A and B are shown apart, each in its own frame.
Chain A
Amino acid sequence: MEQQQEATIEPKKARTGIIDCDVHPYPRNTEEIRSYMKQPWRERYNGGGRGFYGNPVHGDRLDARPPQGGPSGSEPELLRRQLVDEYGYAHAILMPRAFCNLHPDPDFGNAIAAAYNDWLADTWLSKYNADGVFKGSITVNTQDPQAAAREIERWAGHPHFVQVMTDSGARAPFGQRQFYPIYEACEKFGLPFAIHPGTDGMGINVQPSPGFPTHYIEWHTCLSLGFQAHLVSFLTEGVFERFPRFKIVLVEGGVSWLAPLMWRLDAEYKALRYEVPWLKRKPSEYLRDHVRITSQPLERPDNDAYLLQMFEMMDAEHVLMFSSDYPHWDFDSPTRAFPKLPEALHRRIFSENAIEFYNL
């Protein structure tokens, strides 16, 4: 209102080839999603996000709010200017926030997932995507795995959908067999399965902590607990033996916990292999073939050397992919979030791992 922006900084135009594995497009309003729904869902759907555990200050970058109104991430031109052009992206992997799997009614959840997929295909993956810079995620409702598999099949032939996604908030750890129809479809169509925070402890889902924490800072810090539980479940239940070409990506679940968790799991395996005889290798050995993890929010210790050691210990060269989480408040800048990396490692993290993982 009172701001008088009299000078703006010229964006860098160089194409750096960065691939950002977590960018959030938003509909301009609820009606945009509702228009893709049939009755009775169209009348019933009122948008709505997570419900509670909101950021007490601001949940998105203030400078990402379109001047003409509407939510952050809803204006393709602004998103392109602040992200794609500013940093010279090759691709942005889009992850809409449907929050479809917090509903007790699975049919309602399915309707929301389908509407978001229709909307994304019509807008960000086509109308706004002449240069093909945007790649999308097929939203699925994990509380109805059969319907989720059909939704994957509906979109699998689309040139710009590159993965299947759902929230890390779930009713059970994701390695369990009730979810296998989803993984079977992912494998059949060669689409990775992405997990993103969203409905942890919301609606019908389990909170990944002992009960419900008081503050957003607790809830947000502990989101990584759910990811750890899902990963251990995927590895021990033998999902990657059952679906040998199935791949997962853990988005926005934290990074630096990976190495010590794998040390612990491998150590347990030596004694407890008896219980999970289908594992043909140490649990951690499945990682490079099946698991990727995205960087934001990157833990940044005061001593950069510690983080670089972590990268080495977790095999970041092969498993870590850059993400910014634009337009959210904890956005990681491609040029400022990381310490200086050896050039080859930088290339792996900022582009090559994603090119290979998504066949871009």
Chain B
Amino acid sequence: MTELAATDPLPKPKRDLAPVLLPIALALVMIPLIGSPSTWLTLTAASLAMGMMIFIMASGLTLVFGLMDVLNFGHGAFIAVGAYVATLVLAPFAASIQADSLWINLAMLAPAALLSMAVAGALGLVVERVLILPVYGQHLKQILMTTGGLIVAEQTLYALWGPQIIPMPLPTSLRGSFILGDVAIAKYRVLATLIGLAVFIAIQLVLNRTKLGLLIRAGVENREMVEALGYRIRRLFLGVFMTGSALAGLGGVMWALYREQVHASMSDELTVLIFVVVIIGGLGSIGGCFIGAILVAMVANYGGFLVPKLALVSNILLMVAILMWRPRGLYAVTSR
């Protein structure tokens, strides 16, 4: 170790760039394999959009785990609830959705998304109080409790909405693609990418640049100390949990619009997907979660194009490969 003079600035933590370069390298390697550059661009854009949506859904899970050490196996339920709530808003205004004006369409989608986030967040409040509060610090019971919560939520959705698939059409102005040269990029994918990026930047800014983020990070490090300083860490954590749930709700709406349908079993299939993402990223790491989501989406899109049969298990293969390289995920944050 070199000695520092008192006036020297503290050494910056080393930036670990290898995981960031991984998706870029993967995309570049794929160019010759796919052959046609325009197909490659379309697939890459699709991967980015899908990755952003997965990131929004998974970020809440990894946020809650990283900050509160709570593993929520019921996270998928918030996603499904968000999607169902959006149908409540969108169904009565089917006419406005068919209107061929971007602004009218967005004016319909925004309240739907906001209401979904509000309901998912409120549900998060209830879940945290009822299911998680009694089992803080006990991983085994957390897994059991939240798994039970997932079952109850899914079955309640079945009881309220019935088992059928509910269609959720995209608004007219978001259908179709931009054509740039000979590349077609779906409009909704651009919107999804923008929202995903905004969420990512917002989370990073709040955690790293605000006093709130400072308190949350400090609370994770040493809860008693922050409480002794007079801050109510319980409320802070509750807020984090509600934010995570609300993000899952937003992700649910976006995913439902992407697939143009809503079904209660979507929580099951997405739970596995977001688990794979947070494992790849390293539990609790927002940056890792972001890269993990893009990687998973890339493998799904490129893999689906090149070897369709393989695409079914591509997630697991990717997870195995990453864990061989880094057993704790791309960015290991927690020592747990």
A, B bound: no
